[in-house]
A and B are shown apart, each in its own frame.
Chain A
Amino acid sequence: MSDLDQFRQETRAWLEANCPEAMRQPVTGFEDIYNGGRVPEIDHPDQKVWCDRMAEKGWTVPHWPKEYGGGGLSADEVKVLRQEMSRIGARQALDSFGISMLGPALLQFGTQEQKLEHLPPICRGEIRWCQGYSEPNAGSDLASLATRAEDKGDHYLINGQKVWTSYADKADWIFCLVRTDNTGTKHEGISFVLFDMDQPGVEARPIKLISGSSPFCETFFDNARADKANLIGEEGKGWTIAKYLLTHEREMISGMGGAPKKSLGETAVELIGADEQGRLSNGILRQNLAQYQLDTVAFGATMARVGDEVKSGQGLGPASSIFKYYGTELNKRRNELNLAVGGEEALGWEGDAYQGGQVVRDWLRSKGNSIEGGTTEVQLNIVSKRVLGLPDA
């Protein structure tokens, strides 16, 4: 038996013995996803049990090195673990910005001490992180951010405001872009610091969106304190880390939405009717749906192709630069078509008759996809300049 087969057998046995029954049920909402933290939001007690057992094995973040709380698994072993988990319908034990965003940046740019301090609590789901990037006057032009960090010897004193800080009201720590120097170009003088949210001088207020309540917050710093030991990378070189993380974030947003269970066209036939050949009776809607579905198939093939190119050692090609732009625009198109297909039912805002207004709220929320994490227009600028080599005006 190969080592990998042996690993599969052991993994299967361990999962069977340790994954609670409740954690084998399909995820139906955000409350089913466990994010950890000092005071975790717990929908079912087994969420924490399952997270703790997986963390013990290092399997909440199986691909990170063991010394930082990960599982130290090879790519093939991670694949086996995922396959075995999905075989029994096991949920992901822990999902957090610490895993998806801060962790990769620390592994790349952090010192050994910083990694040892911050990564293991992420793996164990003990500390929940949020990201402090955008500001009221630094959106697409993120590098013009103005939150000040004043040098106080062993620490920085931080004053300013962040916005669109997801889950700032629930996070324990923040990774934050601050300005440590005003003298150079706007990209210089930005630093990447970590600090505890549980201190006087940090306040997070949730933002209500056109779609209703949201995880976003406005976050205010009034003489908040960040130890210098938690400066990541060099002072004034935070922009490099920010760009690295934005790439991660864009990949996450482009994958949002996902494919619906039944094709929209088939749903439309049920609701609107078809001719004798089975063609949707409204020819204009049919064309719009077909164009959307065609682009969805072609975009899916592009994601697969880029993934296969990376696996074959060709590296991340220029096609990846379109993911954020195209994926979010496609998601907006799908949501517009959802309204067109659903008619009055899709416009309902609340109440049982309208399933709480999910369709219309998703539609409104999708408008933000092409704004957050780099607007469509900024993405097109990036393709123009970096991929096509077109010059600045």
Chain B
Amino acid sequence: MALVLNEEQSMLKDAAAGFLAEKATVAHLRELRDSGDATGFSQDVWKEMADMGWAGIAIDEEFGGLGYGYTGLGLVLEQVGRNLSASPLQSSVLIGATIIAELGDQAQKEQFLPAIASGQSIVTLAIQEGAHHAPSQIATTAVAGGNGYVLNGSKRLVLDAHVADTFVVIARTSGEPGDTDGLSAFLVDAKADGVAIEQRSMVDNLNCGALTLNNVSVDASALLGSEGGAASGLNRTLDIANIGLASELLGVSTEAFERTVAYLKERKQFGQVIGSFQGLQHRAAELFAELELARSIVLKALQAIDSGDESLPVLASAAKAKLCEVAQRATNEGVQMHGGIGMTDEHEIGFFIKRARAAQHTFGDYNYHLDRFASLNGF
């Protein structure tokens, strides 16, 4: 497949850029933060996004989506990264809908996907338990009982936990923490007895929370996929999630870089603009090169999702690792090259370094994915 955008994709990208730059900017994120907004994003803007079809962008038309594929969703997420737009696009559209599409049966897809695609329902994945992403270490249990299963355990870094109506909980139906087998996925209603949700506040001011499951009973029909058989659909979902986050990080990095280059052309010291100093020019030029590599690997990985490429796992880890590295460098250089003003809360560059680190960490950081990339490559 050619590594270029087609006309439909270019139009989508432009539309997303225009809409988000007006309706969901860094200034809006600051307002949400400073007002202590309970939802954490604008419901009105989310409704508009859903009305444009973005909530169903990668969902099949059969289930009420647009069927544009993940390349389309990735382009929107890149613009989300540029504007630091707060919305449930990542939690519910990129990840929640994907795991249901990957593991669900026809009835489950019919029940959940159209609701997600219309923006009415928010479904989010509850997987992480410790401070680090480590799927094989899951200790949350699901034991047969009642009409189905009884779940016990705790989860954290659950995106949009406090506004989700359904969680996809990854729990162990057999084996011990450390085993890669024995994982199952369950649909859990946010209002079910025994579910406790704690809203938490991370550095990026986007929504995430912790979940405690205390003897939560679910029906047998809540099982997504087969018992103990979540691994392959879950792994594909995580690959897609990481590529989506890499798209967002591409937007974060590119925007931070462009703002920094603009600042280099405007800030004067020693009687000249600081962008005329070779010490800064070469650092900017090297970063430009890294961003071009980042853009290429993200597009290649997005296309690999849509084409069913067998090398998806290695491309997903490549894209996420590369974007973690580039986002870290772009945002660090962003603050450094802005100098003192870059350290102030008043300036917006700080919002980019904050979101970058949270997105980098989510579902595996640079270290996790570079390690996985090496293993998948046979060393």
Kindly provide the distance from the CB of A293 to the nearest chain B CB, expressed in whole angstroms. 6
Interface residues of A in 28-61 (CB under 8 A from B): none
The one of A266, A268, A305, A385 that contacts B296, using a Cβ cutoff of 8 Å: A305
Binds A, one of B34-42, B158-166, B278-286: B278-286
C-alpha gap A383/B286 in the complex (Å):
9
Chain A residues lying within 8 Å of B371, measured Cβ to Cβ, are 279, 290
B296 touches A304 (CB 8 A): yes
* CB within 8 Å of A: which B237-266 residues: 261, 264-265
A294 touches B281 (CB 8 A): no
Contacts of A287 on B, CB cut-off 8 Å? 370, 374
Q: Is B294 an interface residue (CB 8 A)?
A: yes
Q: If A277-B375, A290-B373, A384-B281 touch, does A299 touch B293 (CB 8 Å cutoff)?
A: yes
Quick check: is A314 within 8 A (CB to CB) of the other chain?
yes
A284, B233: Cα distance in complex, Å: 33
B265 touches A301 (CB 8 A): no
Partner of B375, one of A263, A279, A314: A279
Whether the Cβ atoms of B379 and A278 lie closer than 8 Å is yes
> Is B379 within 8 A of A326, CB to CB?
no
- B269 CB within 8 Å of chain A: no
- A49–B275 CA distance with the chains assembled, in angstroms: 58
Q: CB within 8 Å of B: which of A353-393?
A: 377, 379-381, 383-385, 387-393
Contact B288 A388 (CB under 8 A): yes
Tell me, yes or no, whether A112 is within 8 Å of chain B by CB: no
The number of residues on chain B lying at the interface, defined by a beta carbon within 8 Å of a beta carbon of chain A, is 39
User: Closest 5 interchain pairs by CB?
Assistant: A265-B379, A384-B281, A301-B296, A383-B285, A305-B3
In the complex, what residues of A have CB within 8 A of residue B373's CB? 290, 293-294
Does A117 have its Cβ within 8 Å of any Cβ on chain B?
Answer: no
User: Which residue from A269, A279, A301 sits with its C-beta under 8 Å from B297?
Assistant: A301
Q: Which residue of A lies closest to B301 (CB)?
A: A301
- B286 surroundings in chain A (CB, below 8 A): 380
Does A291 belong to the interface (CB within 8 Å)? yes
State the CA gap A298–B373 with chains docked (Å): 13
**Count, A-B residue pairs, CB within 8 A:** 140
Partner of B293, one of A266, A308, A326, A385: A326
Q: A274-B379, A278-B375, A279-B375 are in contact. Are A325 and B276 (CB under 8 A)?
A: no
Bits for A272-283, please: 1 = Cβ < 8 Å to B, else 0: 001001111000
A309 contacts partner chain B, Cβ-Cβ < 8 Å: yes
B4 interface contact, C-beta 8 A: yes
Indicate if B273 sits at the interface (CB-CB under 8 A).
Answer: yes
- In the bound complex, residues from chain B placing their C-beta under 8 Å from that of A305 are 3-4, 295-296, 299-300
Known: A379-B285, A390-B275. 11 other contacts (CB 8 A): A278-B375, A279-B374, A290-B370, A295-B293, A297-B297, A319-B296, A325-B289, A381-B285, A387-B285, A390-B261, A391-B276
CA distance A389 to B318 in the complex (A): 31
A185 within 8 A of B: no
CB pair B288–A266 under 8 Å, yes or no, is no
The smallest beta-carbon distance between A248 and chain B, in angstroms, is 20
User: Please, which residue of chain B has its CB at the minimum distance from the CB of A317?
Assistant: B292
Contact between B276 and A298, CB atoms less than 8 A apart: no
Q: Given A305-B299, A312-B4: A393 and B278 within 8 A (CB)?
A: yes
Q: Is A114 an interface residue (CB 8 A)?
A: no
Q: Flag if A294 contacts B370 (CB, 8 Å).
A: yes
Indicate which residue in A263, A291, A387 contacts B378 across the interface (CB closer than 8 Å): A263
Chain B residues lying within 8 Å of A263, measured Cβ to Cβ, are 377-379
Is A302 in contact with chain B by the CB < 8 A criterion? yes
Nearest Cβ on chain B to A284's Cβ, whole angstroms? 12
Does B321 count as interface, using CB distance less than 8 angstroms? yes
Q: Sort chain A's interface into a size bin.
A: 35 or more
B292 CB, min distance to chain A CBs, angstroms: 4
B272 at interface, CB cutoff 8 A:
yes
Does A63 count as interface, using CB distance less than 8 angstroms? no
Contact at A266–B378, with CB atoms within 8 Å? yes
B379: contacting residue among A286, A325, A387, CB under 8 A: A286
Give, as a whole number of angstroms, the nearest-CB distance from A329 to chain B.
9
Specify which of B284, B294, B377 is in contact with A384 (CB 8 Å cutoff).
B284
Which B residues are CB-close (under 8 A) to A322?
288-289, 292
A280 closest partner in B (C-beta): B379
B300 / chain A contacts, CB cutoff of 8 Å: 301, 304-305
- A166 CA to B355 CA, complexed, in Å: 51
Contacts of A389 in B (CB 8 A): 261, 265
* A contact residues around B285 at 8 Å (CB): 379-381, 383-384, 387-388
CB of B322 within 8 Å of the partner chain: yes
Residues of B within 8 A of A297 (CB): 297, 318
Interface string of A259-273 (1 = CB under 8 A from B): 000010110110000
Q: List chain A residues, Cβ under 8 A from B277.
A: 393
Query: B284 and A388: CB pair below 8 A?
Result: yes
Chain B contacts of A391 at CB under 8 A? 265, 273, 275-276
Assuming A286-B379, A298-B322, is B292 touching A377 (CB within 8 A)?
Answer: no
Contacts of A243 in B (CB 8 A): none
Contact of A311 among B2, B264, B321 (CB under 8 A): B2
CB neighbours of A279 from chain B (8 A) = 371, 374-375, 379
Select one of B278, B295, B377 contacting A293, CB under 8 A: B377
Give 11 CB contacts A-B under 8 Å: A287-B370, A289-B374, A294-B318, A294-B370, A299-B293, A304-B3, A319-B292, A322-B289, A384-B284, A388-B288, A390-B276
Bound complex: CA of A369 vs CA of B288, how far in Å?
21
- Could you say which of B261, B300, B373, B374 has the most chain A C-beta atoms within 10 Å of its C-beta? B374
CB-nearest residue of chain B to A289: B379
Given contacts A387-B288, A391-B265, A298 and B296 within 8 Å (CB-CB): yes
Q: How far is the CA of A264 from the CA of B237 in the complex (A)?
A: 30
Query: Closest CB-CB distance, B15 to chain A, in whole Å?
Result: 20
CA distance A391 to B273 in the complex (A): 8
Q: A346–B289 Cα gap in the complex (Å)?
A: 31
Which residue of B has the minimal Cβ distance to A392? B276
* A266→B289 contact, CB < 8 A: no
A304 to B4, CA, bound (A): 10
CB-contacts of A136-167 with B (<8 A):
none
Q: Is the CB of B378 within 8 A of A326?
A: no
Closest to B372 in A: A290
Expressed in whole angstroms, the minimum distance between the Cβ of A11 and any Cβ of chain B is: 25
Q: Which of A265, A266, A278, A297 counts the most chain B CB atoms within 10 A?
A: A297
B228 → chain A, closest Cβ, in Å? 22
Contact A298 B378 (CB under 8 A): no
Q: Which residues of A contact B379 (CB under 8 A)?
A: 263, 265-266, 268-269, 274, 278-280, 286, 289-290
Point out which of B264, B277, B292, B297 has the most chain A C-beta atoms below 10 A from its C-beta: B292
In the bound complex, what is the Cα–Cα distance between A308 and B5 (angstroms)? 10
A306 to chain B, nearest CB (A): 8
**B294 nearest CB neighbor, chain A only:** A298
A277 (CB) vs chain B CBs: closest residue = B375
